[in-house]
Amino acid sequence: MLKLISHTMKAIFLIITFAFFTNQLSAQEIKFPADLKKFVEQSFQTYPKVGEMSDLVSLNEVKVELGKAGYLPTAMGDVSYRRQYPTPYIPFSTSDGQTNNVNILPANNYNASVSLAQPIIDLRVNPQINKAKSDLTISKDNLESFKSTLAYQVAQIYYSIIFLNKSLYVQQQQINLLQSTLMQISVKVKNGDALSYDLVSTEVKYTNAGNFYTDLRAQLDKQYNMLGMLTGIPEKDYLNDTSFNSTIFNMVTDSVSAIACHNNPDIILAADKIEAAGWDIVSADRSRLPVLNLQAGLGYKNGFMPSIDVLNFNYFAGLGVTIPILSASRPGYQRKIAVINHHVSQLALETQKAVLNKDLLNSLDDIRKNQKKLASADTLIRQAQLARELATERYKFGVITNLELLTAVSNFKDAQLSQLQFEYNLLLSRMDLCRLVGMRWW
């Protein structure tokens, strides 16, 4: 009784938690860019792996129909000719003392018939149908799981492109500042107010900034290539809106473990496999049971007395029971295999739950960490900007060295890039959390 009450309370808690989570998501009115959804839909239509898994779903649908055909009758046509020798006969003596032979079977046997077999009781069919349905469910959930993975992969690439574009913009500003500083130092070197070393060190800084810009551009091109592979769109001018909002993919983080165990695609798949393995056990058990069939047939053949050579219309109807005694499928071994597979599937589910719990904790820790870093980023940028402005003015009057000026300029650029990196990392952490709880936004 206490166990039943405990399970009931857990079920009620899960329902309330799920309802609260759904209401909170609705209240937040999470919005996603229209072009991101367009890319996701495009990837569903063009990426070959989606088509492959869709075909597997269709294949399992046909297998379900094939399993149901076990309840349907089977009909078979048969046309045959058989020459028989020796021909059996009965000898008898006539009144005049001679011996005659009466053939029991004809030497030439002809047969043309249609037979029908209709299963009446076959307890083996239902487990096979249910197993096929379980396989169909697994293939559908596999497809949805892959679509979820693909959608989040496209989203990650999408925001990575935006992040890299913004990083390129910041780096270009850094290059422009260094170029302006380089020109300023060149003038000072000509006037004898600065050393050639200052000019060379600034040129090195300028070259390194250009190389970093080139690396960012190469990473951006790779992201474009990846997005093109997934969506089938070869152009690089995908993104008209380069807005970046780190609060997207935000969600309530309370009781996410219960929600994830209910919606996570990997957990759903693991549970589907347990159900399928259970039907394998039932199927192995029922393979020992007899089968009752209705048998009927009609046609033409010879061999009927008294005119054994004449083709006669004939029919038959009856019941037949097939009783497995020693089956080539070895149902005992089949059941042992099914039980082991069922146990393996149960352990796989527990493993998946453990991994999911670990991933959830890591994701929540990453969100908290990046939120703290992002909270201090604005202050750091303001301080770095003020330091750069002061360094620029002081360098004009020869109060600080060229190295101090370059350090101030680099610190400002690093602070801007760090803020972008924190926003991007926070977004990825939230995306990962939504993926783990099985959130569908496309």
pLDDT digits (tens, 9 = 90+) for 383-441: 888 998 898 888 877 788 888 888 888 888 889 999 899 989 988 888 888 888 888 88
Please, which contacts does 63-72 make with residues 24 or more away whose CB atoms are closer than 8 Å? 63/132, 63/135, 63/136, 64/129, 64/132, 64/133, 64/136, 66/132, 67/125, 67/128, 67/129, 67/131, 67/132, 68/129, 70/119, 70/122, 70/124, 70/125, 70/128, 70/129, 71/119, 71/122, 71/125
Let me know whether 310 and 328 are in one domain.
no
Please give the distance of CA 168 from its chain centroid, rounded to a whole number: 34
Let me know whether 84 and 205 are in one domain.
no
Let me know whether 131 and 223 are in one domain.
yes
Q: Count how many domains the chain has.
A: 3
Has residue 441 been placed in a domain?
no
Q: Determine the 3-state secondary structure of 79 from DSSP.
A: strand
CATH code of the domain containing 134: 1.20.1600.10
Q: Determine the 3-state secondary structure of 318 from DSSP.
A: strand
Has residue 304 been placed in a domain?
yes
Has residue 1 been placed in a domain?
yes
Has residue 277 been placed in a domain?
yes
Has residue 11 been placed in a domain?
yes
Whole-number pLDDT of residue 246? 55
Whole-number pLDDT of residue 234? 66
Let me know whether 49 and 136 are in one domain.
yes
Let me know whether 373 and 227 are in one domain.
yes
Backbone phi and psi for residue 292, each to the nearest 5 degrees, phi listed first: -105, 125
Whole-number pLDDT of residue 113? 87
Has residue 318 been placed in a domain?
yes
Let me know whether 167 and 241 are in one domain.
yes
Whole-number pLDDT of residue 245? 57
Let me know whether 44 and 81 are in one domain.
no
Q: Determine the 3-state secondary structure of 181 from DSSP.
A: helix
Let me know whether 115 and 220 are in one domain.
no
Let me know whether 185 and 266 are in one domain.
yes
DSSP 8-class letter at 400: S
Let me know whether 329 and 319 are in one domain.
no
- Adjacent-strand bridge partners of 121: 292
Has residue 349 been placed in a domain?
yes
**316 contacts 116 by C-beta, under 8 angstroms:** no
DSSP 8-class letter at 71: G
Domain span holding position 311: 74-120+298-323
DSSP 8-class letter at 282: H
Cα distance between residue 259 and residue 426, in whole Å: 21
Angle at 408 between CA 407 and CA 413, to 5 degrees: 95
Let me know whether 149 and 267 are in one domain.
yes
Whole-number pLDDT of residue 243? 56
Let me know whether 47 and 131 are in one domain.
yes
Which residues of the chain are modeled with pLDDT < 70?
1-31, 97, 234-255, 328-329
Is the Cα dihedral 68, 73, 77, 83 positive or negative?
A: positive
Has residue 342 been placed in a domain?
yes
How is 134-168 classified by DSSP, letter by letter?
HHHHHHHHHHHHHHHHHHHHHHHHHHHHHHHHHHH
